[in-house]
Structure 1
C-alpha cells in the first residue's frame, strides 16, 4: 500500500518533538506510534500495540541484537581502559612527546585517526572518541567538535572503502541482485558517492583550517573562553560516570593499557570478516565481527589489568558492568532508531 505524503509524518514528528522537548527517546517512540497508526488506517489502539511489538521484534534479527550488545559493551571497554590507567597514560605520553601541543593539532590528529580506522564506522567512532576525549577536555575543545570529527570520519569514510564491514554489506546487496562482479560495480560507484566525499573533504577543511561557523563557532567560544566543553543542559548519551572514570589510585599510568586493547579490536575486525566470510573479506558478517572485536578488546583489557595487578577480578567485573550501565541510553536509542 502506498501512503504518499503520510509517510513523512512519523520522522517529521519525531524530529520536531526532539527539538522542542529535548526528549529523544520519547520523541522517537511517539514517531514509531504515529507510523503504526498510519499503517493501521487510523486505529490508535492497534497502532500502539504494533509499536510495542515492533520494538520487541528488533531483537528477532541477530544482526540488530549484536549491534545493540556492541553499543552496551563499548562502555565496558571505556571504563576498563580508564580504570587501568591506560587512557591517562596515553594522554601523558602525548604530552611528554609533545605530539599534540595545541587545539588545532588535537583536531587534526583526531581527524587522521578517524580516517585511518576505516574498518567499521562504530569502531572508528569508539577509537577516536576514546583516545581524544580526554585530550579535547584538557585543551577545552567542545564536545560538539569531537562529535563532528568522529561522525564525519566514520561512516562517510567507511562507505568509500570496499575492504571493511560497510563494503561487505553493500557488495552483499549487489550480489543479491544477481549482478556480475559486484566488487567492481561497488568500486565504480565510489566517485559518485558525493555526500560521503564532500563530507570528508569539508571536515578536512574545518579541521586543517581550524575555522568554525554557526553553532559550532558558538560552541568553540563557549568551550575555549568559559571552559564549558558541554553545553548547559546537554545530556551526553554516554553517562558521565563512564566518561569520567578515574584511574585506580596508586597504580602506574601506562599508555599500552589502552593502545593494546584498541589495537586488538582493530585487528579483530578484518579477522572476523575473514572468518565469517569463509576466507572472503567481502562476504563476512559486519555485525558479528564488530561484536567479536569489542569482546576481544575487553578481554585484553581485563588480562592486562590482572597481569599487571592493577585490578582484581572483582574490580574488573564491576567496571565492566558499570560501563554497560552507562551505555544503556545509547542501546535504547539503537532499539528505537
Structure 2
C-alpha cells in the first residue's frame, strides 16, 4: 500500500481547523499527529499513543534535527546573555546624541531592526528599548515605532540564514517529499528562494519608503496627526500603553558600551560565514584520496563548499563558538558575574521552549504525513501528488493558492512556524509532481518549487506580522510602549497592502515562472498603491 488515500487529509485538515478554533498551534499540532497515528493504528488508541511518543522521540533521533534543536535553544541562551548586559541601553544613549529629527530616528530604528536579526522576540524588545526614548524625544508616535519593530522582526528573520526561523524552514524543506529530486542542498535552496520571498522584502521596502516620503495613510496618518496636534505619542482611546519593559540588567547599564550589543552579533555572523564552507571541507576528508584540509580545499570551489554545507552543523558550531567568546568578552568587561551569566543563559533557553515544542511537533507531523504506511505514516504526499497531477491542476495557480492559504492560517493562529509545518510538506510534493508531469526542465521545475515554497513563507510571515494574537505583534506593541489595539489598527492597512501586492506578484510569477516578471507585477502594484492610497485613505 502506497498511502491511506483520502484518510491522509485528516491530520492537516484537523490541525488547520483546530488552529482556527483554538488559536493554539501546539494543541492543534498534537491532535493532528494523534489523528494520523490513530488512522495508522486502525483506531486502536493505545497503539496510536505509543506510536505518537515513538515518533516524537524519533524526530530528535536524527543528527540534523538534534543540532537544529540545540542551535535554537543556544540561540535563546545568547539572547538571554545580550538581555542582561545593558548594552542596548548603551547603544541607545550613544544614538540619542546623533538623532535629532523624526526621520533620522525612524531610519535608525529600521536599521537596528535589520541588524538584530537572530531572533524576532529580541528584535522587538531590544530595538524598542533602544529607540523608544529617542523617538519620544523627537515626537514620533509610538504606533510608528511599533510598526517598524514588527516589520523588521519576522520579515527580517525569514530572509537571513543565521536565524532560528530559517534553520527551521530548511529542516522542514529537507524532510519534505520531493525535495531530493531537486538535486540541491537545503541551504542552497533557501539562498535561492530569498529573492522569491516577495512579501518579506516588500515589507522592508515599504517601511523605508514611508519613512523617506512620509506618504502615510489610514489610521497611521491619524495617529501621526494626533501626535502633532496634541503632543501625545499614543491615543488613549485605544487603551493604556504598556509599561516600561526591562530586558536588560539595570545594574550593568552604566558599564556597557554600544559595541557590547554589536559584538556577539558580529561574532555569530563571522563564525557562521567561516564555518559554512569549513564544515564541507572537513567532511570531504576521507583519509584516502583527501587526507588534509588543504587537499579538501583544493578539491572544490568556495561556492561549492557553501552550497554543499551541512547548515545544521555549521550553525551549531557557530552558536557554540559565539556563546563561548561572548561569555569571555562580557566577563572581561565585568558586565555580569558567573552566576548572573548562568541565569541569563538559562532564562534565554527557557524563552525558546514553546518554539522548540512547535519545532519538534512540526517534524513529527511532517513525518506522519509524508512517510509511507510501511514506515508508520499516511503517504499523503504521494496521494496528493498523484491526485493533483492526474487531475491536470494548473501549476501556475499553486504559488498564489499557497500564499493565500498560508496567510489565512498564520493570521488566524498568530504563528508562522506552525504554518510552515503544515503547508510545506503538502505544497512541496504537489508542485514537484506537477512540474515532472508537465515535463518542465530542471531550471523551470526549480523555479516553480522556489516560488511556491516562498509563497508559503511569505503568507506565513504576513500572518505573524499582522495578526493581533501574534507574539511578535504583541511584543512590538510592548517594546514601543504603544496600546496594542492602536498598533494593530495602524499596521493592518500597511500589511494588507504588501500582501495584496505580493498576491499579484505570485499570481503573475506562477504563470510565467519568472522572478523578474513576478517582481515587476508586485512593484507595479506597490507603486500604484503608494500613489493613490494616501489620496483616498486620508487621516
TM-score scaled to structure 1, two decimals?
0.72
Residue 129 of structure 2 is aligned to residue 134 of structure 1: yes
- Aligned equivalent of 1:152, options 147, 155, 159: 155
* TM-fit CA distance, 1:224: 4.4
Superimposed CA distance per residue, residues 25-61 of structure 1 (whole angstroms, 9 cap, x where no aligned partner):
2222111111222333433332222111111111111
Q: Which moved more, 1:97-106 or 1:310-319?
A: 97-106
Aligned position for 2:235: 225
Q: Which moved more, 1:305-314 or 1:261-270?
A: 305-314
Q: State the distance in 1 between where 2:55 and 2:316 align.
A: 23
Aligned position for 2:344: 319
Maintained 8 Å contact 1:86/1:253? yes
- Aligned equivalent of 1:297, options 302, 306, 322: 322
Across the two proteins, how many residue pairs are aligned to each other?
308
> Could you list the runs of 5+ residues in structure 2 that have no partner in the other structure?
136-141, 227-232, 282-296, 298-304, 363-539
Q: State the distance in 2 between where 1:273 and 1:100 align.
A: 41
* TM-fit CA distance, 1:70: 1.7
Q: State the distance in 2 between where 1:100 and 1:265 align.
A: 32
* TM-fit CA distance, 1:287: 1.0
Residue 258 of structure 2 is aligned to residue 263 of structure 1: no
* TM-fit CA distance, 1:144: 7.6
Q: State the distance in 2 between where 1:51 and 1:127 align.
A: 33
- Map 1:239-250 to 2 at 5 A: 244-249=247-252
Aligned position for 1:328: 353
DSSP 3-state at the match of 2:235: helix
Q: State the distance in 1 between where 2:33 and 2:55 align.
A: 9
> Could you list the runs of 5+ residues in structure 1 that have no partner in the other structure?
118-122, 231-239
* TM-fit CA distance, 1:263: 0.3
Maintained 8 Å contact 1:69/1:331? no
- Aligned equivalent of 1:254, options 253, 257, 271: 257
Query: What's the Cα RMSD here?
Result: 4.5
DSSP 3-state at the match of 1:98: coil
* TM-fit CA distance, 1:198: 4.7
Q: State the distance in 1 between where 2:101 and 2:45 align.
A: 56
Maintained 8 Å contact 1:272/1:289? yes
Residue 119 of structure 2 is aligned to residue 109 of structure 1: no
- Structure-2 change in CA distance of 1:4 and 1:170 (3 Å): closer
Superimposed CA distance per residue, residues 195-241 of structure 1 (whole angstroms, 9 cap, x where no aligned partner):
51354224422553368999999xx99x94358788xxxxxxxxx99
Name the larger-Rg structure: 2
Q: State the distance in 2 between where 1:75 and 1:277 align.
A: 26
- Structure-2 change in CA distance of 1:314 and 1:18 (3 Å): same
Maintained 8 Å contact 2:125/2:247? no
